[in-house]
Structures are given as C-alpha cells and as structure tokens.
Chains A and B, each alone.
Chain A
Amino acid sequence: MHEVLLTLGFGLVTAAILSLSAVAFTLEYAVTNVANLSHGEILTIGAYAAYLVHRLTGSALLAALGAAVAGGIVALAMHTAVIDPFVRRGFGTMPTFIATLGMSFVIQNVLVIIFGAANVAYTIPQGAPHQVGPFLWTSAEEEIIISALGITAVLYVIITHTKFGKALRAVFQNRDLARVTGINARLVGAATWFLAGLVAGYAGFILAESVGTFNPYFGFSFFLITLTAAVAGGLGKPFSTMAGALIVGIVLEFAGGYISASYEIAFAFAILAAIILVRPRGLFTNARRTVFE
C-alpha cells in the first residue's frame, strides 16, 4: 500500500507537468486547428532559457519567469511565421501539420548548434524529500504541483470569464463565423499562442527541474506523451485535456514503476492508439460511428 501511494505521489507530479504541457498544446489546437508537432520544442526552449537565466542570476524564480517568457516568444514567432500564413490562406490541416514537423526539426538543430547535443544538467536545489500527507515530495515537487494548480486556475478564469476567453472559444467553434461577428481571429490566435507558449515554456522549466538533465531532443520525447494526454482528454478542450493528463500521468508512472521505465513512450502510445480507436474524440465525448459521421 505504501509503495502504491508513493508511486501515486510521483504520478501526480508527472501529471502536473503533463497537464500544463497538454493544456498549452490544446490551446494552440483550439484557435488554429493545428496539432503542433513543434510544441515540444517550446518546452525545450523554456528549459534552456531557464538554464541560462539561472546561470546568470542564480534565482530559480527568475529562471521560471525566463522560461515562460522565452516559451511565449517562441510560440508567438511560430504562429506569426508559419502557422498563421498557412491557416489564413486556407492550406488545410495536413500541410500545416506537416510544416510543424519541419519546424520542430529546424528548432532542434538550431539548439544543437547553439548548445551542443550533449545533456545539460540543472543546478537548482531540489530540497530533501519529506512526507506530505501520504506522499513523499521534495519542496521542488511541491512547488511544481502548487504552481500547476495556480496556473490552471488562472487559465480557467481567462477562458471562462473574460471577453478574450469568449473570443477564443468562438474561434475554436467556428473561425469564419467568429470573424464575421467582428472578432479578429488572427489577433486571438496570436494572443492564444503567446499564452500557450508562456505555459509551455514554464512546463519545460519544471520538467527539466524534475528530470534533472535535458538536451535539444528532450521536448520532443515529452511531446509524444503530451499528445497522448491531449487526445485522451479531447483535442481543443482545455479542461478535459487536463483530466486526460491526470489519467495518463498516473497510468504512466505506475507502468514505469511496475513494468519498465524504458517502455514508457511505447506504453503511452499504446494507450493513445487504444483511445483513438475506441473514442477518437477523447474519453469524455461520444465516439464516431462510421468514417463519415
């Protein structure tokens, strides 16, 4: 029983990071209808930014801020340079999707040139593990969970209680209809990507903090798990995405703990394939019946 609770505790930490990454991914999807394959690179850049800021200032708080800002800027740049021109010209989902794959490849290799391909280690102190209720967490892990909850609350308020959130939901439902009612869909798209980038950049920071080391490819492998969580929850729906992240994070931790950590990505994809086949619109909505429905 004790071991189960310990694993659950680690699973909650994974789920907290995963939920931030997944909610950012799903926000990007919501406003542009693009599954961003270069989403993982926003996390990677967040981690490198935090690494640089921490080396310069020694402050973990500034490092976190730096990660978020860098992530926001990169996401905004992605939207402006590639996504928006594709979406605006009506290029369709697939070409844009493939373009994000190319973008991911470019960013990874730019990072290789700047930072080298080798692993980089964080030097931010984690604090000693201590008992929190039934779980065993370090103070860094506590901060991860608390900050994830805080960010979720802020996102909830923005999406459900502000005019911007309303515009965002309108663009997700029907981009053209939103435009004829006077919503500037490009601006909403850019702002949403910036917001998503802030969250993803921060997620990159806490992911690197919790893993300890990272390299230019680390965001991409985490992205594959993010994708599982986002699809499990339902693409484009921020809060069911978070529920998906919670489930996937905990399941993966148990699978990693009890089977083998090496198979984690394969395991995530097994879950993903099962979900897509049975409930392609996510766990919390009804499945389609024929390929045309």
Chain B
Amino acid sequence: MIQYLVSILTEGAIFGIMALGLNVIWGWSGDFDLAYYGYVALGAYMTLVLTIGQATPPAQYILGLQLPYLVALLCAVASSALMGLIVGLIALQHLRGIYFSIVTLGAVYVLYVMAGQYVPLFDGYNGLSGLFNPMGDALGLDYQSYQYFFLGFCAFIFILVFIFMAQVSGSRFGLALRSLREDERAAAAFGRDIYRLKLKAYVLGAAFGGLAGGLFAAYLSAFNPSAWSPIEAIVLYSAVLVGGRGNIKGVVLGVAVMIVLVQESTRFLPGVPGYPNIVPALREIVIGAVLVLFLRFRPRGLLPERRYIDRLPKGYVDPGVDTPPPRGFGIFERRSRPARDRDRRSPRAFPPLPAPGAAGAPVHRPPAQDRSVVSTPGQAVLVVEGLHKRFGGVAAVNGCSFRAPKGQVTGLIGPNGAGKSTAVDLISGFKLPDAGTIFFEGVAIQGLPPHRISRLGLIRTFQTPREWPGLTVLENVLLARWDPEREALWRGLIEHGRAQHFTSESELNGAREILAELGLDKLSNERAGNLSGGQKRLVEFARIRMAEPRLVILDEPMGGVNPVLGERIVAAIEGFIASGTSVIIVEHNLPFIERVAQHVIVMSQGSVIAAGPFESLRSNQSVIDAYLGEVSHE
C-alpha cells in the first residue's frame, strides 16, 4: 500500500511538472500546442540514450554515453528546448489558432513516426531501457529506500518548478504573455514583439516538458513508442483545463484530479474477466468526456486564473485632480530609457479636465521643460508620401500623401471606403505598404513591424476597442507602458510580491490617477472584458495616457459613444495635446472633428483630395463631391 502511494505521488510530481510546462504555452501564451508531449518524449529518450551503455546488436540506438544522470537530465532539457525552438520558429511566425495546432500535431507525428520507424535512432518500437535507479548506486541505497529517495527528488524538483512558475505568473513577463493570449493586436500596438515573446514562452514550456520526460524515463527505467501515442497526451490537456488554465495552483489541482485520481489510481482497479479493455477504455472515455464538459460548462476550470487585486495602501489619500502627484520615489526610478524620455518616467500632472458639457475649456499648455523635443510651429510629426496598397484588384490606398502637424489634432475624414483605416494600418505597421514612405519624427517607419513603430512613440487604437478582456482594468493600463527591462524573464524571477507588476510606486499611482480622471477608478479591479463599450473606449484612452506616445492615431473614437461620454473623450484628447502627444483622429462625426481638429485631411478613393482647416473645406468642391457623390457637370 505504502509503495503504491509512493509510486502515485512520484508520478503526480512528474506530471505536475509536465502540466506546469504546458500551462506556460497553453495557459499563458494561449497557444494550443499539440506537440507538447513530443518534448516530454524527447526528454525521456535523450535521458536514456545518454545514461545507458552502447547499443549491443540487435538493439540499435544513438549515443549510449553512460553519462551521470543529472548531466543527462540537463542535456535532455536542452534538446527539448532546442526542438521547441525549431518548431516554434516555424509555427509561431505566422500561424495561430487551429493552424498552429495542426502544424504542431504534424510535428509530433513526425517525431513519433521517426522514433517508431527509424530504428537506428531510438531502437524503433522496442524502445530503450536499462536506466535503473539513477543516483542510487552512488548513494548506496537499496531498492526500498531508493523509491523514497526518488520520490523526494521528484518532489524537490516539482517544488522548484512551482516556485519558478509562481514567480513568472506574477511578473511583468507573465502579464505580457497573458496579454498575447487576450489580444495579440493590442499587445503589438503597445510595443510587444509577439513573435519573440511567444517563442520564449514556447521554448520555456518545451524545456519543462523535457525535464519531466527525463524524470519520467528514470521512473519507468524504459521508454518506447507505446508509452506515448500523441493522442494519449489528452489527459495532460484535460488536467490543465479542469484545474484552471493560467492558474498554477489550479493546474496542480487538475493533475491531482485527472492524472492521479482518474488515470493512475484506476490502473489498479480489478478488470472485468474476459474483457481486458473495458477498464482502460472507460477511463479514457471519462477523460475525453470531462474535457468536453469542462469546455462547455466551466471553461475557466475549478480554480480560475486569479485577478490582480489592487488595494490602495493604508493612508492613501486620493490626490484629486488639482494636487500634483508625488514625483516618485527617487530610488525606484529607473533611468535606462533614451535621454529624451527621462523626465517622462513619472506620471505628469494633467491639467484639470473640464466638466462634462463645459466644452472649449481652456487647454493648459505643458510647461516648457516638459517637452524633450521642442516643437516649432509648422513642424510635422508624421509625413506620408505616395502610400499605395492593393487588395486584389482594389487599390485601397492609392498614392496617399499628407503631413500631420506636431502638437495639434489632425482629423482624417472621408467617405466610407476612402482608405482611411487601411492607411492607419499601413502607418502603424499592421499591414505592409506596396509602395510609399512614412516618416515619423523624421524616421522612416514604412515596413517596420507594429511593435517597433509603437516603441518609437506612435500608438494607434482600433475601431472596436481592443482591451485585454481577461486582465483587470488596472493591468490593462499598467501594461500599456512597454518596459523591456522589467519585462525580462529573469526580472520576474528575482522580484516578489505585488511590486512585480509595476515599475515603481509612482507608476502605480500614475495609473490610479489616470483611471480616476477618466472615471474608471471604481472599475480598476474589474476584468476589462466585462465593461460596456463606452467604458472600454475609456480604458483605451487610459492606456494611451499611460503609454505617453508622441503621436496617437485614434481610429473612430466616437463610434457608438453617447454624448456625455463624448465630452469626456473631447477632454481626454485635449489632455493628450497638453501632455505633448500629437493626435490624428479618423472619424465620420464631422461636428466632432470641427470641434477638436485644427487641421483636417480629406481622403477619397485611396488618396488625399484636400487638406487644411475645417472651414476651408466647406466650400471645397471636390470634398463636397466626395461626400455627396459626383455631380454630373454635363
């Protein structure tokens, strides 16, 4: 009995490591990776071929180096990570959703067929064996005490892995990964290199798979293809899903329920005489059915991913909108950014916002020393020249050229189908232009990926708000500021507590103030996906405030917004200008444009037909024609 318990617990620890690795890829990064069990298998195979002796005919396999177990284990982790890197490099570049899953299923089948059919690799279907009680001889353990020792060894590694995952879970790195899962476009728009981040997560997950595989090989002392049909891995997916994707405690609970309780314990049930298949088949039916039922009725699992709850510290006094916020705690300030960003590190006091209805309230100019690049009148923040983009036979953007002045609000208007949104996509890097140049503050940005453009200080919003729905409002705002230093994985491992989430106390206070100004402070711990459409719009504005770009392109900010909220948006736009952010607004609501924009660009059929102050366009015949349809002059 005790032996049985020891073996179940050992297996539970190994599967726990496996599931935590899968959780990085599926739970956080959000990719349903069907190749995962391949990394476990590769880890097991590599551990075996590195620890057992040379192959003696008829057995055939590579290596046979008789390395010490721990060295072999490290090599196994490295080889799984390497394979994860190769698969990830190929599959993550362009593929998402089912296409990604299909390609990873392909990858694992290729590995499976190679292991089974190509005998010189891992001895085909015979598999490998001969790794008995690694480390046991050196420690002089007998069989019985070795079982306890190995359980302790696996449990120790499991606890290390769990602590590692707990650190990653609360870190900026973990938060950035989850933002990819929630909305990749928004993540790219706020400076995340989605390919590299996803690749990091994938390789990390694969490495833990290899680690679990190496332990598994020692536990089984043998490994062959019948131990790992790729579809068998489904129990691992059901464990992660049942426990709660993204929540590491949930994942461990899921392993306890699905693998220890359902899969392993029932292996020892008495079979039905004459029908040896019934018990295993029933067990697998239960696993499959649990997967379907949880997806349908409890997709977040038994222990759903936790929100980060922001509690105001004791004695925290809301500074209100009139008191300037503290300028930060000097020692927490990090000064690694380019020089011109230095004085932008701590949140700046925004001018008081006009009350709703008080349109045209005076706009406070920022103090001169606040602007790193002094703007001269007439200087352009964005210069677009000869931009072209075709979709099949349609020239969506056809020789579009314009300039947006610095420090002002530029309206980009035009009838439906004029190519405004495509132009925004081209400028922000979400689509590749066929031809043309785009200069942002004198830097050519055409053809750069979205995150590079965002990091230069040009951020765009989307027609429908793209919040990260599963993250809280506060997390949405905190994550708007891209901070490469704090988002490094190693940083997440050494920091602890709630401080992992933000760069400095002043950054957190800044985010709180921005939310208060926009009237979102009561919602800051709510998941952004639960907000109304208008509130989501405000969250986008809060994120822009936090990111402090030098140019923001707002794509139809007034779409579906009620008049009261409209006033808040007008105020927010004035706030952007006041804090040194130039604004381009794509909009159909002309009275709104007339009110906020100093400069207006009119597009029609893919090119700019007029530009100038709003009043000058009223009498412009080509603008009237574009909006009212071509008037026949015959």
Binding site for B on A (CB under 8 A): 35, 82, 85-86, 91, 93-99, 101-106, 108-110, 112-113, 116-117, 220, 224, 227, 231, 260, 262-263, 265-266, 269-270, 272-273, 276-277, 280, 286, 288-293
Contact = CB atoms under 8 A, between A and B. Distances in A.
B281 A93 contact: no
Given A95-B299, A224-B109, 18 more contacts: A86-B296, A96-B295, A98-B291, A102-B238, A105-B285, A109-B288, A112-B277, A112-B281, A269-B109, A272-B103, A273-B90, A277-B95, A280-B95, A286-B392, A289-B432, A291-B96, A292-B188, A292-B425
Contacts of A86: 295-296
B277 A113 contact: yes
A106 B288 contact: yes
Identify whether the interface residues of A are mostly helix, strand, loop, or mixed.
helix
B107 interface: yes
A97 B101 contact: yes
Contact of B292 (A94, A102, A117): A102
B32 interface: yes
A289 B430 CA distance: 10
Max count, chain B CB within 10 A of own CB: residue among A85, A103, A106: A106
B428 to A, nearest CB: 10
Contact of B237 (A82, A91, A98, A104): A98
Contacts of A104: 231, 288
Contacts of B432: 289-290, 293
A113 B431 contact: no
Contact of A227 (B102, B281, B285, B299): B102
A155 B95 CA distance: 31
A86 B296 CA distance: 7
A74 to B, nearest CB: 15
Interface string B85-110: 00000100111111101110111011
Interface residues of B, number: 52
A259 to B, nearest CB: 11
Contact of A292 (B103, B109, B238, B450): B450
B234 interface: yes
Given A82-B292, A220-B231, A94 B98 contact: yes
A109 B296 contact: no
A106 to B, nearest CB: 4
Interface in B350-406: 392
Contact of B103 (A94, A273, A286): A273
B419 to A, nearest CB: 15
A290 B117 CA distance: 37
Contacts of B291: 98-99, 101-102, 105
Contacts of B113: 262-263, 265-266
Nearest to B283: A109
Max count, chain A CB within 10 A of own CB: residue among B241, B278, B288: B288
The 8 closest A-B pairs by CB, nearest first: A269-B106, A105-B288, A102-B291, A106-B288, A266-B113, A109-B281, A102-B292, A102-B288
B443 interface: no
B98 A103 contact: no
B284 interface: yes
A276 B430 CA distance: 21
Interface of B: 32, 90, 93-99, 101-103, 105-107, 109-110, 113-114, 117, 184-185, 188, 194-195, 231, 234, 237-238, 241, 277-278, 281-282, 284-285, 287-292, 295-296, 299, 392, 425, 430-432, 449-450
Contacts of B234: 101-102, 105
Nearest to A108: B284
Contacts of A99: 291-292, 295-296
A220 B194 CA distance: 33
A97 B32 contact: yes
A276 B98 CA distance: 11
A95 B237 CA distance: 12
Contacts of A112: 277, 281
A217 B22 CA distance: 26
A96 B195 CA distance: 25
Contact of B94 (A93, A260, A262, A291): A291
A101 B288 CA distance: 8
A102 B94 contact: no
A93 B99 contact: no
Contacts of B392: 286
A93 B277 contact: no
A224 B278 CA distance: 27
Contacts of A35: 98, 102
Contacts of A117: 277
Nearest to A293: B431
25 contacts: A35-B102, A86-B295, A93-B98, A98-B237, A99-B292, A102-B289, A103-B288, A104-B231, A106-B288, A109-B284, A110-B285, A260-B117, A265-B113, A270-B110, A272-B106, A273-B90, A273-B103, A276-B99, A280-B95, A280-B99, A289-B431, A289-B432, A291-B96, A291-B194, A292-B188
